[in-house]
Structure 1
Amino acid sequence: MKNLQVAVTDYGFPNLDQEKNILTPLGFEFVTGQCKTGAEVAELCRDADAILTQWAPVTADAIEELNNCKIIVRYGIGVDNVDVEAAKRKGIPVVNIPDYAVQEVADHTLSLLLSIVRKIPQVIEQVRSGVWEIAPCRPIMGLQNKVIGVAGFGNISKAVVKRAQAFGLAAIGYDPFVEEGVFKQLGVEKVDWQTLFSRSDILSVHLPLTEQTKHILGADAFRLMKKTSFLVNTSRGGTIDTAALIDALTGGEIAGAALDVLEHEPISPESPLLRMDHCIVTSHCAWYSENALLRLQEYAALEIKRLFTGESPLHVVNGVGK
């Protein structure tokens, strides 16, 4: 009887000990790569029974080449590197891991929010250069009774709202897939898309990247925002039209932006965003803590274990097997 095979298309972890501890006792052998193209994915994964993938492009052509695959698991929340419809046509469930770093991303969101509103980087730079002011970088907005608006109302968004409310912020939110009662339970007012932009003093983005959400935050959206408002994005960079954001920041349509995700990563050293005092960029690291890293690997392997021990995966995103 041949062993089962799990193919790991690519990974940035120090090792795969977590996955091996869970799957090797089930008879899995590991094949690993650092695939950059769909062709490389197809070559590595052709005979795999299960696939773990982080950033590699699991394209429709690659999926068509799969002979034995029963499940594709994405290390992370977004699945935009996997052609989920192609997998669905082939009857392969695509699974994500939405719950491994909820608290870390929420913490990072609030860190960015506080840094951009309180102008922490600018103040630090002033102090380092010998400028000591007890009311620096004026004006700085107080948070009490200001409004945080959340675009999307999933687990991370809810965790962000809970933290923001502790700072005295009122919360509004938009998510057409969530009932108004769910918003009310957390003290959040459900609003429409236009109201979200026009009322928010801080807009925090928590959207997946889909055909519908790509560039959903563009010139029209920024024109609706207050000139004193701030934008924070820790979800998917492609939800924001980068050129439109640069124009909005340059033209003073919004007061600032704090971004952990970019439309194109890594960000170009020549990007105007890196030369703006009122823009903070971090390196898609909101998810990271050592604990979250281990949880991500463990939870991904457990999804494969569930399927191959007769259970259903917890987080199928393309409806296969539900």
Structure 2
Amino acid sequence: MEPELALAQAHGVQLVVAQCRTEDEVISAARDADALLVQYAPISARVLKALPRLRAIGRYGVGVDTVDTAAATRQGVAVCNVPDYGTEDVSDHAIALAMALTRAVPRLDRQIRAGRYDYAEGRPIHRTCEQVFGVMGLGLIGSATARKAKGIGFKVIGYDPLRQPGETTEHGIEVVTWAELLRRSDILSIHVPLTDQTHHLLGSESIGRMKRGAKIVNTARGGIIETPALISAVRSGHLAGAALDVFEQEPVPSDSPLLDLPNIVMTPHISWYSEESYIELKSRTIQNVIDVLEGSSPRNIYNPEVLV
């Protein structure tokens, strides 16, 4: 908590650290709080109602899915996030996972450690220039991922509900329809927020529309993929594999079938992390709420109408 403590002290703010996983724990720890810094703690309408002094919530990261933003807005509580801190880091990780799948690195590593030395265990491996890299969501992170995938040599296409199919992005990425993205992608990289509309967007029906042998990379939110549908598609061979940094349950349960699938690559929700992003995230999260408490406009606010 060093970056947060330094900024809190500089602005005369008392910072109290508590580990909260439930609504009751949040209410108990934050009963007299003017602001909250949160990551996974649930900030529901019930929590907000129990914290009448609350003026600001700083959410570590891009998403605000752990906060009832509608209830916060009704209560006049500013919800602040840091939407652009991890653009380079998450896109780097998405590319790393995509290349690990493309070149079968984890599978080949495991077979060498098991005493085997046979390139056939990684087959089939295809050239990047023969593969279509699909990007779901062309915001900051999705666009950065698309740009990097294009630089490696992939044919890159992208879908975004705010973009018109047929246009070309500033990085030369072809914008396609949702149906075309599913149909054409050899690798599908997910870069959309988790909302009611995107929850389980990749379920059995949409995965079934993907080409046989395609692969999925998810560095966004676990709930965008319906986990049983993904497992079924990988087991059947319809999908050749997946690389996941995020999961519907985190940490991944010890009895999850994901752990038994050799062509699933997993990392522990770390795509946001670099030494640089770590410091930036922590500093900007608390600076946002300090700005609200001091009566100035924060750099990032999800519901700016509460400051009017």
Smaller-chain TM-score range? over 0.9
**2:49 aligned with 1:60:** no
Q: What is the count of residue pairs matched by the alignment?
A: 307
Secondary structure, in 3 states, of the residue corresponding to 1:22? helix
Secondary structure, in 3 states, of the residue corresponding to 2:37? strand
Secondary structure, in 3 states, of the residue corresponding to 2:5? helix
In structure 2, the residue matched to 1:129 is 114
Paired amino acid for 1:105: V
Alpha carbons 2:92, 2:145 under 8 Å: kept: yes
Match of 1:235 among 212, 215, 220: 220
Paired amino acid for 2:102: V
**Is the deviation greater in 182-191 or in 36-45?**
182-191
Secondary structure, in 3 states, of the residue corresponding to 2:16? strand
In structure 1, the residue matched to 2:180 is 195
Alignment of 1:1-322 (within 5 A): 16-134=1-119, 136-178=121-163, 183-319=168-304, 320-321=306-307
**Is the deviation greater in 93-102 or in 199-208?**
93-102
TM-score calculated relative to the size of structure 2:
0.94
Displacement after TM superposition at 1:132 (Å)? 2.4
Displacement after TM superposition at 1:134 (Å)? 4.9
Displacement after TM superposition at 1:135 (Å)? 5.4
Alpha carbons 1:80, 1:209 under 8 Å: kept: yes
Residues 186-206 of structure 1: CA deviation (Å, up to 9, x unaligned): 111111111110011110001
Secondary structure, in 3 states, of the residue corresponding to 1:43? helix
Secondary structure, in 3 states, of the residue corresponding to 2:282? helix
Alpha carbons 1:257, 1:279 under 8 Å: kept: yes
Displacement after TM superposition at 1:100 (Å)? 2.0
Alpha carbons 1:274, 1:280 under 8 Å: kept: no
Secondary structure, in 3 states, of the residue corresponding to 1:32? coil
Paired amino acid for 2:157: I
The gaps in structure 2 that reach 5 residues or longer are none
Equivalent-residue separation in structure 1 for 2:2 and 2:252 (angstroms) = 31
Paired amino acid for 2:236: G
**Is the deviation greater in 115-124 or in 267-276?**
267-276
Secondary structure, in 3 states, of the residue corresponding to 1:211? coil
- Identity level (%): 41
Displacement after TM superposition at 1:41 (Å)? 1.1
Residues 66-94 of structure 1: CA deviation (Å, up to 9, x unaligned): 22222101011111111111101101111
Identify if the C-alpha distance between structure 1 residues 301 and 183 changes in structure 2 by more than 3 Å, giving closer, same or farther. Answer: farther
Displacement after TM superposition at 1:145 (Å)? 3.7
Secondary structure, in 3 states, of the residue corresponding to 2:58? strand
TM-score calculated relative to the size of structure 1:
0.90
Residues 224-281 of structure 1: CA deviation (Å, up to 9, x unaligned): 1111211000000000000111111111221111101011111122222211121111
Alpha carbons 1:260, 1:286 under 8 Å: kept: yes
Displacement after TM superposition at 1:181 (Å)? 9.5
Alpha carbons 2:38, 2:57 under 8 Å: kept: yes
Displacement after TM superposition at 1:20 (Å)? 2.1
Displacement after TM superposition at 1:27 (Å)? 2.1
Paired amino acid for 1:55: Y
Secondary structure, in 3 states, of the residue corresponding to 1:173? strand
Paired amino acid for 2:241: G
**Is the deviation greater in 133-142 or in 27-36?**
133-142
Alpha carbons 2:156, 2:173 under 8 Å: kept: yes
